Chain A
Amino acid sequence: MKTWLLLALMVFSTVLGDLLQSAEMKRHGEIKEFAPRRLGRVLAALARKKFLILAIVFMAVSFFAFMTLLETADLSFAVPASAATLVFETILAKIVLKERVDSRRWAGACLVAFGVALLTR
């Protein structure tokens, strides 16, 4: 029971963290300057974005949920679960972020998810 709760917490926070991060970075627009001086200004602007801070909190929750999950469950259970989030997130990227997910990306996401599931054998 505890294992499933942790898994649900991990999946939920990973998905939410990625969606928030992607949404905020899309809104910010393409980063083009990588000179150290400009980069400092970009970082300062990003540090004030609420979605981004929330995204990092969710990523941290996901990280600790994964660590705790590994105390009770095998890696061969925990890692395929993280592959499942990939397909789930692709669906949400289409619905929530309005990304145009073409057949190439669907096929790629499924191949990778199956591949990760096999890696744990």
Chain B
Amino acid sequence: MPERSRQRRYVPLFQRVAGINALLLIAALVVTLLVLAPRKFSSFAADEAAVLIAALALLVLANLVLLRRVVRPLEALIALARRVDLSRPGERMPGAAPTSEAGELALTFNEMLARLEAERREATGRVLAGQEAERLRIAQELHDQVGQELTAVLLGLARIQGRLQTPLREELIEVQEAVRTSLEDVRRIALELRPEALDDLGLVSALAVLGERFAQRSGVAVSQQIDEELPALDAESELVVYRVAQEALTNVARHSGANRAELALRAEPPGVVLTVSDGGHGLAAGSEPGTGIRGMRERAALIGAGLELDSGPDGGCQVRLSVAVDGEASAW
């Protein structure tokens, strides 16, 4: 945060008021003495001077303590305003009550935080929903248009094949195989674009289905460790967990060279932790993150989750997504 290094160009309120008060106290003492006992100024006894100075010191100290109590909430508010991070919602100013100006300020500040967090949550939801709707639309277009037309082409080719003589027939079979591969690619892409069974089944079952399907398609064996008891996540977080798991598994198949992967979803206070690890050759030193990893990071950032990428327990790569579930978030 750049504000933190900002130079302070004023004398803090506390020092200013404390200084002025101390001067006023000294002035008041001097005036009192001048009025009540003007002759005393020339002949101060040492003990009298000591009592006077001690009394003065006591007054200044009491003033400092009282003033400190008034100013401290303001400083705490400044500190909170500096460090508050909307992607980690739920932080509030303590002692917010309409009993003083500082309390009122804290109260208003808390209300503003709640409003900002709500707006952010809504915006995040809209971004994710828009993204998902677009994916669904593309998946349906792919399936209903491209996929069906390729199937029709395949049927047409099969029909022609029956009437041809070798070697043309051999060539046609190659073309057929190419169309078939494209058709399978289209189907696969359409499948990957949809959130599949998430809405119907909930996160745990949807992850199980994802793992099974992935293993079936890619030939990478997936072992799953999903805790039975997990704290409830909101819909956006579930979608992010699902998408990160999907992307991480895709990366395993594409880049790791591994033939096995582990998908784990565990309850770990203050939330849940998703890990996808593989037994592949790990991260290349100094490699640039690809679009897959960037996409995972962006999604994680939308819900304020942490995403780490490092070496797994057995040398391969590990993706770790930690989603915090705080009391307020789960109550919404």
- Specify whether A and B are partners: no
